[in-house]
Structure 1
C-alpha cells in the first residue's frame, strides 16, 4: 500500500480543474466494435454510478461511442451531474451506418461534434475536448491549424473549458502549444507499447495531463502480452494484486502527470481497476518490468 493511502492515486490538473489520477473510460460501454448499445444496459448504468460513488471525477467519452449510446447512458446514470465531475470527450470521427469509423474532422464538423456531445450529455460545457488525429503523420500543418482553431473558438465561446489532443506526435504537440494552451493529450500507451514516450515526457515537462488509452493493451494478443507476461504475473502474485493492477500501477508510477481512464463493462473489474492505486510497486517489480518492457530511448 502506498504511504498515505492516496485516494485514487492522488490528483493532477486537468485544465482549470484538478482531478483524481484514476478516472473511467466509457468506450467499453458501447456494443462490440464500439458500435450500438451495450451488452447489458442495466450493468452499464450501475458501472457508471459505482465509479462516481467510488470517487471517480474524470470520465472519458465520445459521441461516436455507440453512435451516441454511451453519452446517453452517462446522462441517464449520472444526471444531474455531481459537482466536480469532469467529462472529457473527443471529436473528429463518427460511425457510418454499417458501424465503420469515419473521419469527421473538417472544422465545421468538429464544431458539430462538440454541439452533439453537449446535447446528448445535457450540459452547456465540457471539461475538455480532444482533437482526435486519424493519422498523426499525414495531416498538413495548415489543416491541423484549422482544426485546432475550431476547438479554440469553442473554448472562447464557453462550450469547452480546455483543448486536448489525441493520437498526436510530439511535433504536433509542439505546434499546438505554440498556438494555444493544451490541457491534456490522449495517446496509445501501455507496458507493451511505449512509442509515445517522447510525447509523455514533453507533456510532463509542460505540466500537461497525459491520458493513455488502452492502458492494458488492445483486447487479444497484445493484452495477453501484458497480463500474461511472467514479469507482470509474478510481482502480482507476490504483492497480492491482479496483473491488471500491476500494469496500471506501473503507469501511475511512471510519471506524475499520467491520468488513467481504464474502461470496463462490469462492476467487478471496475473495483479491481480502482484498487490499483493501492498497489505499490517495489524496486524488484520495477526492475523486472524494465527488463521485460524496456523504455525506448528518446
Structure 2
C-alpha cells in the first residue's frame, strides 16, 4: 500500500467511476516496450525497475494497452508487480491490431474485443479489468456493436468500468447511449489544446480525462517563453511545469506521463509538488 506521504499523493485524488480512488498523477506504460512500441524494451531490467519505482513513489494508476508491444507492456507489469497492491488501479485498452512497428489499425469487431479482453486478463494476471478502454472507434464497425460487447463483458464481471480514447464530445454522448463511460483518453497538453471542449465536457459530467502525450511542450519550451521563465522561478523543468499545468487545469484530469527511465519517472512524479499561482496558470494558458 502507498502512503499519503508519497510524492504522487501531492497530485490529489480522483474517484474513477465514483468508486476507484487514484492519485491523479499516474504512469503510462507505453514506453516500456521496444522501438516503434514493438517488441521487448532495450533494457528489460530497467523497465522492471521503472515499474517498481512507480509504486514506491505512490503512483496508484497505471495505464497500458494490449497493443503496446503488442502484449509486452501488460506482461511486464505482471512480471514486475503481481500480486498487486490493493490500491493499484491498472487500466488497459483494446481495439487496435499491430501489423508491425509503428503501425496501428483499428479493429472494433465484438469478437475481436472479447478475445483481446480475455488475453489482457491473462497477460495481467487479473480476473477483472478495473478500467477497460476502447482504444479507437473503428469506422467500419458501428460503435454500438463495439461498446455493446464491452457492456456484456462488464455484466459478465470481466470489466468494472468502460472508457474511450480519441473521441469528440458528440462521440462520447453517442457512446453513453450504449453504456456508462467513466473516462476519456485524448491527446492534450499545455501546448496542444485540440481536446479543450472534451476536457470541459468531462469536467461537467464528472468523467476522468486522461491526457496522453501530456508533457509535449513544443515551442513553449523556448528560452524566452513563459513556460521557461516560470520553470526557472520554481526550479523545475518545462516538463514538470507542463504536468503542473494539467493538474491545475481541471480536477478530472489524470496525466499519465510515460518513460523507460527511473530518473525521468522521478522527475515526472516530482511535478505533483509544483504549485502554480493563478497568474502563472493564466500565463501558460494564454501562451498558446
TM-score of the superposed pair, with normalisation by structure 1: 0.89
- Matched-pair contact (CA < 8 Å) for 2:220–2:287: no
- Superposed CA deviations along residues 166-221 of structure 1, whole A, max 9, x for unmatched, are 0011001011223321111001111121111111111111111000011012xxxx
- Classify 1:97/1:287 alpha carbon distance in 2 versus 1 (closer, same or farther; 3 Å): closer
- Work out whether 1:67 is the aligned partner of 2:62: no
User: 28, 31, 37: which one pairs with 1:28?
Assistant: 31
5 Å-filtered alignment, 1:108-257, equals 108-133=111-136, 139=139, 143-217=142-216, 223-228=217-222, 230-257=225-252
Any gaps of 5 or more consecutive residues in structure 1? 218-222, 294-298
Name the residue aligned to 1:220.
Answer: none
From the two aligned structures, give the one with the greater helix fraction.
1
TM-score of the superposed pair, with normalisation by structure 2: 0.92
How far did residue 236 of structure 1 move? 0.4
How far did residue 6 of structure 1 move? 8.1
How far did residue 83 of structure 1 move? 0.8
- Classify 1:6/1:47 alpha carbon distance in 2 versus 1 (closer, same or farther; 3 Å): closer
- Work out whether 1:14 is the aligned partner of 2:16: yes
Q: Residue 161 of structure 1: SS of its match in structure 2?
A: strand
- Classify 1:84/1:250 alpha carbon distance in 2 versus 1 (closer, same or farther; 3 Å): same
Alignment length, in residue pairs?
280
- Superposed CA deviations along residues 39-95 of structure 1, whole A, max 9, x for unmatched, are 111110000000011111110001110111111110110011111211101111021
5 Å-filtered alignment, 1:36-115, equals 36-97=39-100, 100-115=103-118
Name the residue aligned to 2:271.
Answer: 276
Question: What CA distance in whole angstroms lies between the structure 2 residues aligned with 1:267 and 1:182?
Answer: 33
RMSD: 1.7
Question: What CA distance in whole angstroms lies between the structure 1 residues aligned with 2:58 and 2:281?
Answer: 28
Question: What CA distance in whole angstroms lies between the structure 2 residues aligned with 1:90 and 1:232?
Answer: 32
User: 242, 257, 263: which one pairs with 2:258?
Assistant: 263
- Matched-pair contact (CA < 8 Å) for 1:8–1:274: no
How far did residue 97 of structure 1 move? 4.7
Question: What CA distance in whole angstroms lies between the structure 2 residues aligned with 1:67 and 1:6?
Answer: 28
Any gaps of 5 or more consecutive residues in structure 2? 1-6
